[in-house]
Amino acid sequence: MKSEKILVLFVLLPIVTVETGVFDFFSGIFDNDKLRPFNSTDFEKDLRMSLYGQNIALNTILKAVTWLMKDPDPPKPLVLSLHGPTGVGKTYITKIIAQLKAWIYGNVSSFPRSIFIFDEMDKMNPHLIETIKPFLDYMLHVDRVSFNHAIFLFLSQAGANMINEVALDSWRKGKERDQMNTQRMETLLYQGIFNDKNSGFWHSSLIDEHLVDHFVPFLPLERKHLKQCVLAEMTSLNITHDYDVMDSVLKDMPFFPPEEEAFSLKGCKTLHNKLGLHMKL
């Protein structure tokens, strides 16, 4: 691997990422004083406290990341592809992950850690993803920097319809959302994305060559999760929880399918501004 490829990655990343890990990468190299060992219990606590209704995704991400952090010599970077409808926590979870600067060094290795986040992949030019493919592959060492310790996160709404259908089917059968067959969900996602002509980079050899470790489904959110989101907004705004306001905000949110109103059409998106409309000033 040539070092100009690294340069390409660094030129490319600021364009394609929202929360780029480039700066983490540099701070990992130059700012050793602030490093703490990764603590999976704290990480789990952070995730469980702030992410609602996404236990399937949460458990996969928690296990995958902890596994990587405990591995002194991973054969390749961890590559996760997060899928789901709008407003259900895909970008949000990456912010929680990126906050954990402690990851820069794991407790069993002294390699720099970096987290690269590619948001809205489905809207991206398919050629871009091919450029970073070498970094996701096995056994890459450049100038003593191993990308094998890095985490690459791809986010997209590709597969959202399939996820909604499976979630609705399960909801109609009265099943707990955590009890859904995750294996089946991942297989469906994998096949759906691979065969979907509109899913952009998914036609790339990334899938063919199995460089994505896990396809992680984010489910549509139910009324009870929206309530949690509204209360969390109130807390972050330092407002005493007002359940009447919470109910009127929820009445202002669209749900689907029309006859059952099982899931929020926009997830928790726009709740913050809806709250402004319904607060008693």
Ligand X SMILES: Nc1ncnc2c1ncn2[C@@H]1O[C@H](COP(=O)(O)OP(=O)(O)OP(=O)(O)O)[C@@H](O)[C@H]1O
Residue whose CB is less far from ligand X, 213 or 222: 222
Residues 236-255 that bind Mg ion (CB under 5 A): none
Residue whose CB is less far from ligand X, 76 or 269: 269
Which stretch, 51-59, 70-78, 85-93, 103-111, contacts Mg ion (CB under 5 A)? 85-93
Does 98 help bind ligand X (rule: CB under 6 A)?
no
Provide the minimum distance between the beta carbon of 94 and Mg ion in the complex, in angstroms, as a whole number: 8
- Residues in a beta bridge with 81: 154, 215
SS3 67: helix
User: Distance between CA 80 and CA 151 in Å, rounded?
Assistant: 8
Does 50 help bind Mg ion (rule: CB under 5 A)?
no
Sheet holding 115-118, edge to edge: 115-118, 151-156, 78-83, 214-217
User: Distance between CA 151 and CA 82 in Å, rounded?
Assistant: 13
Does 51 help bind ligand X (rule: CB under 6 A)?
yes
Q: What kind and span of H or E run contains 6?
A: helix 3-16
Does 114 help bind ligand X (rule: CB under 6 A)?
no
> For residue 56, what are its two tokens?
């399937």
Among 25, 38, 43, 92, binds ligand X (CB under 6 A): 92
Which stretch, 34-42, 96-104, 256-264, 265-273, contacts ligand X (CB under 6 A)? 265-273
- Cα of 170 vs its chain's centroid, Å: 23
Do 196 and 203 form a contact (C-beta atoms < 8 A)?
no
Provide the minimum distance between the beta carbon of 157 and Mg ion in the complex, in angstroms, as a whole number: 8
Do 264 and 227 form a contact (C-beta atoms < 8 A)?
no
Which stretch, 70-78, 184-192, 202-210, 264-272, contacts ligand X (CB under 6 A)? 264-272
Among 39, 59, 66, 91, binds ligand X (CB under 6 A): 91
Do 89 and 267 form a contact (C-beta atoms < 8 A)?
yes
SS3 158: coil
Does 200 help bind ligand X (rule: CB under 6 A)?
no
Residues that bind Mg ion (CB under 5 A): 90-91
Name the site residues for ligand X (rule: CB under 6 A).
Answer: 50-54, 84, 86-92, 157, 229, 267-269
